[in-house]
Amino acid sequence: MVGELTKSIKSRHINLDCISPILTGDLNIKGKPQRLCAWCCEEEILSGSRKYCGNLCAESARAWAYPQKEEGIKFLLIRQDWKCNICQYNYRVLYEQIMKKEGKTFNGPVDPKVYYWYYYIRLKNKLLKEFKIEVDHIVPIYKGGDSLGLENHQLICYTCHKEKTKKDLSGKRKKLDKTIKIG
């Protein structure tokens, strides 16, 4: 399903309201169509208007559609071991300090099932300008990179992003097909 969404959506933004649960064609106990999670397609949705089987699927969908928001940052930080993908600046140290100051304990690895969005907002706000978290397209969109999803995104600090953008802009751009087909 995610692959199909990526193929069909060419814009940089998506409204998750247009994604709906999958109808299987079977009927549930109450005689209504059985619906599957709009993200993982595996779990039956038991209650009325829910689209996702749980919080992890809902967060995954939001991270896929909005990689620059807190959910996307969370997934990218975990994937990158809490470091800038270029200079290896460690964001985990400041995140731990924020959590301790706020009264939460931070022991061991980050549990991907637990999501404290407000700590990620605080992390973004407390960083010095040169280490601010920025979401970067690994392959720029104008060179054919995907705009949605996390596969073509990485977290890098402001300084590294500035240097990478300068390097990316010096290369050749992907040629667009400008032919118009009539009929």
Distances (CA, A) of 179 to 46, 79, 82, 138, 143: 49, 41, 45, 29, 19
Distance from the Cα of residue 37 to its chain's centroid: 18
Examine the pLDDT at 154 and tell me if it is beyond 90: yes
25-29, 56-60, 78-82, 179-183, range with the lowest pLDDT:
179-183
Those residues whose C-beta lies under 8 Å from the C-beta of residue 106, and which sit 6 or more positions away, are: 95, 96, 99, 100
What is the rounded CA–CA span in Å between residue 166 and residue 144?
Answer: 17
pTM for the model: 0.72
Phi-psi region of 127 (alpha: psi -120 to 50; beta: other; left: phi over 0): beta
Average pLDDT, the chain: 77
| pLDDT confidence of residue 8 | 46
What confidence tens digit (pLDDT) does each residue in 47-85 have? 667 788 888 888 888 888 888 888 899 889 989 999 999
| pLDDT confidence of residue 146 | 84
Contact present, 67 and 76 (Cβ < 8 Å) = yes
Examine the pLDDT at 13 and tell me if it is beyond 60: no
Distances (CA, A) of 113 to 81, 97, 102: 16, 21, 20
What is the rounded CA–CA span in Å between residue 152 and residue 125?
Answer: 25
Contact present, 159 and 87 (Cβ < 8 Å) = yes
Residues present in the chain in total:
183
| pLDDT confidence of residue 130 | 94
Domain ranges (residues) in the chain? 1-65, 66-183
Q: What are phi and psi of 68, to 5 degrees?
A: -85, -10
Q: What are phi and psi of 3, to 5 degrees?
A: -60, -45
What is the rounded CA–CA span in Å between residue 98 and residue 100?
Answer: 6
Examine the pLDDT at 112 and tell me if it is beyond 50: no
Examine the pLDDT at 95 and tell me if it is beyond 60: yes
Those residues whose C-beta lies under 8 Å from the C-beta of residue 143, and which sit 6 or more positions away, are: 168, 171, 172, 173, 174
Q: Is 36 helix (H, G, I), strand (E, B) or coil?
A: strand
Q: Is 94 helix (H, G, I), strand (E, B) or coil?
A: helix
155 vs 14, residue with greater confidence: 155
Examine the pLDDT at 183 and tell me if it is beyond 50: no
